[in-house]
Amino acid sequence: MAGMAETSRPRGGDHGTDRTDRTRARRKAQQGRGTAVPAADPADARLEHARDGKLKLNRPKRGLIDETEAQQIAEDRARLQQQGIGGPLDGRMLSNPAATDGGRPQVRPQAEGWKQQTTDDGRPLLQFKQPRVAQPKTHLADLTLAERQAKVAELGFPAFRAKQLSNHYFNHFTSDPDRMTDLPKGAREKLVTELMPPLLTEVRRLTTDNGDTIKFLWRLFDGALVESVLMRYPGRVTLCVSSQAGCGMNCPFCATGQNGLTRNMSTAEIVEQVVRANEVIAEGALGGLRKDGGHNAERVTNIVFMGMGEPLANYKRVIASVRRMVDPAPEGLGMSARHITVSTVGLVPAINRLAEEGIPVTFALSLHAPDDELRDELIPVNSRWKADEAIDAAYNYFVKTGRRVSIEYALIKDMNDHAWRADLLGQKLNARGRGWVHVNPIPLNPTPGSIWTSSEPDVTDEFINRLEAAGIPTTLRDTRGKEIDGACGQLAAEGDEDEGAEGDVTPSDRRPGASSASIDLRA
């Protein structure tokens, strides 16, 4: 989700006496309401007592879920369904007026200001494959270093020129032949023309008042528009990147998906967003610098695939771009895989495939509802892979990699923020084990008059409290760049009518209505 803050309000993990007492009181109160809150079971195969007597999580064995674990998951799911949780019984909870909190209504998802594309039988249209369209010319960022060397040799130059070109691109963030003074003057133009074709043209740049957040609107070679958001935090810089032009997941709240999928972005187009962001940082254009003498990152340190598009629907190119990001310079950008987050709305086969890649990226599942009746409407891909299947795949990612999984949950007023849903979410996550997951509730950017608006503060607190009482580490995420439509759910590639407009634009210069009236929780 674009423009998100990575840390804001940690609400879990405090094992002090006061927190323990509050948790016990909350658990007792919930049990009084008839909600069973599972306690940490010392017999759990993944838990053991530390020296201080507290429970700690054992690191899982690396490998696929074995037959025993698969059987345990099946038994847990069956047990939950017997209690009315999960599977076909979810609908009973949603349809039962008594299940709402304090008489609050159940708002149903619906597209606002646009018509959702549907199939002949009236179901939301899902596009997993891109249309047959032209792709950009091959760029050196599409290739491994060995492949670049072969290409350079094919052009009649010594293979080592490939490493020089790569050094200029990945270390100096430039494709300008005039700056490549270590290359023969007569060779520069040809090498750049053949290996560095233009990828992104900057159309617009919106900057927050304090300069710590910049939203870029890029035009691709074929005229398609995408956006990315650059954010400075103390000691780090995060870039939210797009992976597709448009999106084929067709969620009713989604600004990006209104017109469907235009095409997948190439590996180099994804990587180019990072290189161009690094160039902007090197020019000193990203403000929000620390004044306390602390460390300021001089380049992008963190990547989140939460911009436009569904990353796992463009699997091969996204994985290739991740490899290019983590490859040591000058073959790549030399970033840490652990500082790269890949998110999805729940493409289960691709999640399992990602777990096999051997790249320790952070994985995030955009769940937004734990019950299938609501999620079927909120996230159309849920008709293909249900919530429990997506959660199982997320758990498998943890088992395979040892990397804790994030569950993204945008809180929408009267739609998915009822306290019983927090209980249901906690129960489903705990059924797979303890300590493997972290939940990020995200306050939705409010839009006057829209059904897609943020939960009330007391409702948000109650939702978080329920998750904490279930022992689920929970962090309420903040957003960045609201005044430039660069925050969570506000990427829509608006403003394409201003052909050739470049440079900084203040919020007052934005296209009227280019706000989060249509929001994109997935992106």
Rounded average pLDDT over 31-45: 44
Catalytic residue among 69, 373, 377, 488: 488
Q: Would you say 367 is a known binding-site residue?
A: yes
In Å, how far are 397, 403, 482, 508 from 485, measured between CA atoms?
Answer: 33, 32, 5, 12
Q: What is the arithmetic mean of pLDDT over 118-139?
A: 93
Residue found by looking up tokens 């047990």 in the block: 79
What is 312-345 written as a DSSP string?
GGGHHHHHHHHHHHHSPTTTS----GGGEEEEES
According to the annotation, is 240 in a ligand binding site?
no
pLDDT value of residue 501: 37
Q: How many CB atoms lie within 10 A of CB 154?
A: 10
Measured CA to CA, the distance from residue 129 to residue 147 in angstroms comes to 27
Helix (H) / strand (E) containing 246: strand 244-246
The catalytic residue among 194, 227, 269, 408 is 227
206: annotated binding-site residue? no
Q: Does residue 223 surpass a pLDDT of 80? A: yes
pLDDT(97) > 90:
no
Q: Is 292 exposed, middle or buried (0-12, 13-18, 19+ CB in 10 A)?
A: exposed
310 labelled binding-site residue: yes
Dump pLDDT digits (tens) for 470-484: 999 999 987 664 554
- Per residue in 57-86, pLDDT (tens digit) is 444 433 344 555 556 556 655 655 565 554
Range from 27-31, 89-93, 375-379 carrying the lowest mean pLDDT: 89-93
Would the annotation count 357 as a binding residue? no
139 labeled part of a ligand binding site: no
Q: Mean pLDDT throughout 482-506?
A: 44
The answer to whether residue 240 is catalytic is: no
On whether 366 is known to bind a ligand per the annotation, the reply is yes
Model's pTM, two decimal places?
0.79
Relative to beta strand 302-305, strand 340-344 is: parallel
| Whole-number pLDDT of residue 76 | 58
Q: What is the per-residue pLDDT for 374? A: 98
Report the distance separating Cα 33 and Cα 262, nearest Å.
49
Q: Tell me, what amino acid is at 197?
A: P
Annotated ligand binding at 343? The verdict is yes
User: For residue range 371-421, what is the model confidence (pLDDT) as tens digits?
Assistant: 999 999 999 999 999 999 999 999 999 999 999 999 999 999 999 999 999
* Digit-coded pLDDT (tens) for 147-171: 999 999 999 999 999 999 999 999 9
How many other C-beta atoms are found inside a 10 Å radius of the C-beta of residue 144? 15
